[in-house]
Amino acid sequence: MLFNSYEFVFLFLPIVLAVFFQLGRRRSSTLPTLWLVAASLAFYAYWRSAYVGLLLASITGNYLAGLAIARYRKRRGRGLLAGSITANLVLLAYFKYAGFLIGTFNDLLGEQLAIPEIVLPLAISFFTFNQIAFLVDVYKGYVHDYGFFDYALFILFFPHLIAGPIVHHRDIIPQFRRFNFSFSSPLVSIGLMVFSIGLFKKVVLADHIAPYANALFDSAARAEALTCVEAWFGALAYALQLYFDFSGYSDMAVGGALLFGVRFPWNFDAPYQATSIIDFWRRWHISLSQFLREYLYIPLGGNRAGRLRRSANILLTMLLGGLWHGANWTFVLWGGLHGGYVVVNHLWRDWRARQRWLPRQPTRGERTAGWCLTFVAVLIAWVLFRAQDLSTTLAIYRSMLGFGPDSGWTLDARLLLPHLPATLQDSMAFAWIAALCAICWLPSLPRQTQALLADDAGTPPRWRLRLGRPWAVGTGILAWLAVMFLARPTEFLYYQF
């Protein structure tokens, strides 16, 4: 079931909320918890009921493993933890990477092993990471005595189940004991507003820029000639599509959880305003960045063993982060490219810190140059992330450098929307790009949805949230515009991960 569908917006969510508030009249969290577990299972089963058993088996197995690790932590805890993590990774590898590994083996050794056709269980990467983090924290002694249904809801809670954000048990499970059972609570108003903003981002902004990105990447996949401008235009269109699609989903997840009184971590913080690649990864998919840092980079040694070891740890972390996104060499190389970016960024910072003649803080000119360089670097990497194979990637890169079959500097509007006159196509394409870039970059706009909820000196007064008529009208307009485009819902891009 998609957040951006009539079934979810007008049927599933209202019913779940109504029953939840009714059960909450007794001021006990037990029945509401059981109801949300059942509703979340139904939400997952709507996609493919055959994998509900797999999901429940994974949850039950990891909960029991956590109990065993907690009980025998001082004696056999390390072995139990290693076995539990291995079991999770084997399950993930079978469903997500079996075809990729066999295909790579065939290519390297010239074998002809059959590649199995395995349907990827929805959200397996996200619920696997959540459960591995839980087991590690049990071993470290950070986990309190949680009941099975609290743990099950932590994994299953439908706002974050499919595509995150990757939530932490210590932040989420305690909130299940203090649900919001009042429909008049300010959290409900805020939740509806944030959900509406996310829905608008997805169905109005992301889905309307998608045809431009798809047309140009599909043309490259068919080995059709692209000009330099077309290649850069396609990369920029995809960068905007991905941002508004994924940040829209994250806003809807945060807003949906707020309706029940549960606060999720924010997943985006105006990433395209980053002034360095390190800054970018503090703003983009924040929950994944924090997971990789806490459960992979730091255990590898982090930055405690010198520059060489730090660089190796960064590269390995980013390579595995790329592989987590998908079973394709394009994702591995995307992670490796970003790892290289981060290593170079750290080396630059180290060098700059040693230059006493330079000001301690970057100048405005440095920040501007850093922003331009960072955005171009991210844009180049997104080509790897979006292209279906390496040959398509190389074709686009050649065109971006002006070495493609058609090295001209024009934009063939017929690639974009063939049914419209060329002049109108050009106008629409550039208008959408300009509008979305403005939303991402203009400093007068809030840095991201969370700025609307802030009430501090750093937030312009006109953007501070006031639960009054202006915000209600604005939310209503956004929701109305979004609902107008729900007739043909499209999947969120991160559903494939």
Is the pLDDT reported for residue 288 higher than 50?
Answer: yes
Half-sphere exposure for 413 (CA within 13 Å, toward CB): 12
Is the pLDDT reported for residue 446 higher than 50?
Answer: no
Q: Which pLDDT does position 177 carry in this prediction?
A: 82
Q: Which pLDDT does position 462 carry in this prediction?
A: 55
Q: What is the dihedral of CA 32, 169, 53, 46, to 10 degrees?
A: 60
Look up 325 and say whether it is catalytic.
yes
Q: Rounded CA gap, 147 and 136, in Å?
A: 18
Q: Which pLDDT does position 49 carry in this prediction?
A: 87
Question: What would the pLDDT profile of 383-416 be if each residue is shown by its tens digit?
Answer: 999 999 999 999 999 999 988 666 555 555 545 5
Question: What would the pLDDT profile of 148-203 be if each residue is shown by its tens digit?
Answer: 999 999 999 999 999 889 999 999 999 988 887 777 677 888 899 899 999 999 99
**Annotated active-site residue in 325, 338, 346, 419:** 325
Helix 390-400 and helix 364-386: axis angle, to 10°?
140
Question: What would the pLDDT profile of 336-351 be if each residue is shown by its tens digit?
Answer: 999 999 999 999 999 9
* DSSP codes joined into one string, 1-12: --TTSHHIIIII
Question: What would the pLDDT profile of 17-73 be if each residue is shown by its tens digit?
Answer: 999 999 988 778 889 999 999 999 999 999 888 899 999 999 999 999 999 999 888
| Global confidence as pTM | 0.90
Q: How do the domains of the chain map onto residue ranges?
A: 6-183, 189-275+362-496
Mean pLDDT of 211-239: 90
Q: Rounded CA gap, 374 and 363, in Å?
A: 16
Sign of CA dihedral 221, 225, 229, 230: negative
Q: Rounded CA gap, 462 and 102, in Å?
A: 56
Rg (the chain; Cα; Å):
24
Q: Which pLDDT does position 422 carry in this prediction?
A: 42
Question: What would the pLDDT profile of 469-479 be if each residue is shown by its tens digit?
Answer: 777 788 888 88
